[in-house]
Amino acid sequence: MASAKLRWLYMALVVLGALCLYFSMHDLALFRGGPLIFKKDSGRFLQLPAVDCRRDPPFLVLLVTSSHEQLSARTAIRKTWGRERVVHGKRTETFFLLGTTPSEAAARAVAQEGRRHGDIIQKDFLDVYLNLTLKTMMGIEWVHHFCPQAAFVMKTDSDMFVNVSYLVELLLRKNRTARFVTGFLKMHDLPIRHKHSKWFVSRYEYPWDKYPPFCSGTAYVFSGDVASQVYNVSESIPFLKLEDVFVGLCLAKLRIGLEELHSEQTFFPGGLSFSICRFRRIVACHHVQPQKMLIYWKALEDSEGEACPAE
């Protein structure tokens, strides 16, 4: 009797031990990284923009994530907020971030577009949503290697309206030079665990229950020094396909906090209906189609000098 009980106990312990070993090895593999580690020097640049930051340091570099098929968005930006070169006496430069496409015709068209405008930064990773972090990190690497003289950098998307003039004005007013990050702050976001969401993240990709503070990827701004620091730590951060959270993880490791640019909301990741007076008081607004971009811009330019009610 007693020996049979002991045998059962012994077997249960062996099974339990094996399970513990199995799960601990799984977890170790998770943290050792394997495929989930970002390699900061991987890939090579296919296109570099025509700009010499050493000779002509920009105050603000705007990096706009874009893809091959978004030519009309790039054209609208080049005709509107991307056209700004000197604002409040400060230099601004706008560049588009692209990966590669399997379509040879599209690749040729973008190479030609880049030669013509000199405003494309491109590396040889496949341009898909899941590679967005590679795209952002390419922009950050570019600043680190080719334009560390930039006082500020904005990362934004090609369906965004940006009031560059107001952004420069607020940055000058804020008077910060280092370790500064701003945008639409997300201080307490949680990973989305429903499989069908665009932002689904599995426990394998991100085992923790909370995200660090981060800025909505639609538009965020940081002082130039932050680019080199983020680039520097990026390899020690578990890779995540959500570029804004990934940058947030880098900032947490660097102990760089997020700050508001203004006491009023100026970044609108959810979009906003247009009015001239409202758009004079925002920095960035999401969901603006190319056609609308041109219309809004013209309305703002034409009304220059006209007063708004509460000014």
Ligand X SMILES: *[C@@H]1O[C@H](CO)[C@@H](O)[C@H](O)[C@H]1NC(C)=O
Return residues touching ligand X (CB under 6 A). 125-126, 128, 130-131, 163, 165-166, 175, 228-229, 232, 279-281, 297, 300, 304
Choose between 175 and 273: whose C-beta lies nearer to ligand X.
175
Q: How far is the CB of 219 from ligand X (least distance, A)?
A: 14
Identify which of residues 21 and 128 has a Cβ nearer to ligand X in the complex. Answer: 128
Query: Nearest approach, Cβ of 259 to ligand X (angstroms)?
Result: 15
Contact residues for 121 (Cβ-Cβ < 8 A; gap 6+): 45, 47, 48, 49, 63, 95, 96, 97, 98, 138, 139, 142
Of 24 and 42, nearer to ligand X (C-beta) is 42
CB of 159 to ligand X, least distance (A): 16
Cα 59 from Cα 161, distance rounded (Å): 19
Nearer of residues 118 and 257 to ligand X, judged by Cβ: 257
Smallest gap from residue 262 Cβ to ligand X (A): 11
Q: Are 181 and 226 in contact (CB under 8 A)?
A: yes
Nearer to ligand X, 19 or 308 (CB): 308
DSSP 8-state symbol, 56: S
As a dihedral over the C-alpha atoms of residue 18, residue 23, residue 25, residue 30, rounded to 10 degrees, the angle is 170
Strand partners, 93: 61
Least distance from ligand X to the Cβ atom of residue 1, Å: 60
Largest CA distance in the chain: 97
Q: Edge-to-edge strand order for the sheet containing 267-268? A: 161-162, 284-285, 267-268
HEC string of 238-290? ECCCCHHHHHHHHHHHHCCCCCCCCCCCCEECCCCCCCHHHHCCCCEECCCCH
Smallest gap from Cβ 181 to ligand X, in A, equals 15
Q: Which is nearer to ligand X, 46 or 63 (CB)?
A: 46
If the CB atoms of residues 149 and 165 are measured against ligand X, the closer one turns out to be 165
The CB-of-310 to ligand X minimum distance in angstroms stands at 13
Position 5, amino acid: K
